[in-house]
Amino acid sequence: MEERISVNNVSKGFGEGEARVDVLDGVDVRVGRHNFVSLLGPSGCGKSTLFNIISGLMEPTEGEALVDGSDDRLGTCGYMQQKDLLMPWKKIVDNVALGLMVKGTPRSEARRQADDILERFGLGGFGHRYASEISGGMRQRAALARTFLAGDDVLLLDEPFGALDSLTRLQMQSWLLDVWQESAASILFITHDVDEAIRLSDRVYVLSERPARVVLTLEIDLPRPRPYEMVMTREFAEYKAQAIRYLHPDEPALIDEEVIPDA
């Protein structure tokens, strides 16, 4: 099976009758092996609902969501929500090892792997601290480490850098790209930052306002590695122009029409 995540024509509504709210409207999303794919859309458009469905926390009203071709999804993805959700009663190493331990890895082996990934994530020596004793950026990296270990190489990252200041955010993007390159992970990444989506991804799905539909699929054909300065190249700007055009359809267009392909 080549696709690690495939979301086929998924719709989701909450409530019944008059009170029904449609959140997702026939969404198709695909993430291949070792791909980095982003969902770019306005806040509150239903991106997190899609993640809840892919991770198996929810079932779609219509359509199907498959991870490695299977409908039985709980326990298959590493899902990182916006909050770091580190448990204050566990030391960092035990937080990071938690997913593995729940899945049956013996404690000592799970801890060994957790120490290993903490070292790689620049958190070596912090494993025995409590979450309250480390900084926000470190907490985020620890949460990401936990997600990598728990995720069996399928990772759902819901605006992991949303709460960070823009400088830290850029550093974290570079860092995430490095970590991803060295791993076998397939990543689906939620953001509402256009630059972030294009810089990180192989493919960007641009979503509409609620109920969310995919209004544009951008295959990002930029070389890797991608240093931050790449955002100033012409190719990057063209991708950005297309994304913005579909994100803000009511804004007057400044860019030459021929840049934008048919939807």
Residues that bind other proteins (CB under 8 A): 52, 55-57, 74-75, 77-79, 81, 83, 85, 87-90, 98-99, 102-103, 130, 132-133, 150
SS3 23: strand
CB of 108 to other proteins, least distance (A): 18
- CA torsion, ordered 40, 25, 59, 15, to nearest 10 deg: 110
**Which one, 57 or 263, has the nearer CB to other proteins?**
57
**Which one, 82 or 183, has the nearer CB to other proteins?**
82
CB of 35 to other proteins, least distance (A): 20
Q: What is the DSSP string of 132-191?
A: GGS-HHHHHHHHHHHHHHHTTTEEEEESTTTTS-HHHHHHHHHHHHHHHHHS--EEEEEE
**Which one, 149 or 198, has the nearer CB to other proteins?**
149
CB of 90 to other proteins, least distance (A): 8
| Contact status, residue 147 vs residue 79, Cβ threshold 8 Å | yes
**Which one, 91 or 192, has the nearer CB to other proteins?**
91
CB of 168 to other proteins, least distance (A): 21
CB of 162 to other proteins, least distance (A): 14
| 250: its two tokens | 């009511």
**Which one, 54 or 212, has the nearer CB to other proteins?**
54
| Contact status, residue 173 vs residue 189, Cβ threshold 8 Å | no
CB of 100 to other proteins, least distance (A): 9
CB of 131 to other proteins, least distance (A): 8
Residue 215 dihedral angles phi and psi, to the nearest 5°:
-100, -15
**Which one, 78 or 160, has the nearer CB to other proteins?**
78
- CA torsion, ordered 147, 151, 153, 158, to nearest 10 deg: -50
Closest listed residue to residue 158, CA positions, set 251, 38, 22:
38
User: Can you say whether residue 79 is alpha, beta or left, with left for phi > 0 and alpha for psi between -120 and 50 degrees?
Assistant: beta
**Which amino acid is located at 21 in the chain?**
V
**Which one, 77 or 179, has the nearer CB to other proteins?**
77
Q: Which residue has the tokens 């699929």?
A: 217
**Which amino acid is located at 42 in the chain?**
P
How far, in Å, CA of 42 to CA of 26, rounded?
17
